[in-house]
Amino acid sequence: MNYIPQVDDYVKWKNHEGWVYFKCDQSISIELGVCDKICNEHGASFHKKNHTLLVCYSFQWDELEYVKNRRNVNPDEYKSQQYRHKDP
């Protein structure tokens, strides 16, 4: 059975690993790291973090190794962004 990645899966690919951050029919992005923005040169921003993402195309998905997911986490315990409203 071929693995089909989903958002919020934790995967390993080659010598990288991270959370699936985005998915479309052609590719996924794997979040390798997050860091605080040092400064904001262009005025106020709602985005307080920089995300390092790696693109993995659909023809490479057979190289992915599924590790775990975070979809079943209690919504009161997990919020992806500070001050983000709760999902309906």
pLDDT tens per residue across span 29-59: 999 998 887 766 666 566 678 889 999 999 9
pTM across the whole model:
0.72
- Is the pLDDT higher at 19 or at 2? 19
Separation CA 63–CA 11 (nearest Å): 10
- The reported pLDDT for the residue numbered 50 is 84
Tokens of residue 41, six digits: 């040169």
Q: How far apart are CA 81 and CA 56, in angstroms?
A: 24
Share of the chain above pLDDT 70, in %: 70
Strand-pair category, 49-57 with 9-13: unpaired
- The owner of tokens 């307080």 is 48
Contacts of 29 (CB under 8 A, 6+ apart): 20, 21, 22, 53, 54, 55, 56
CB atoms within 10 A of CB 19: 19
Instruction: Please say whether the beta carbons of 2 and 61 come within 8 A.
Output: yes
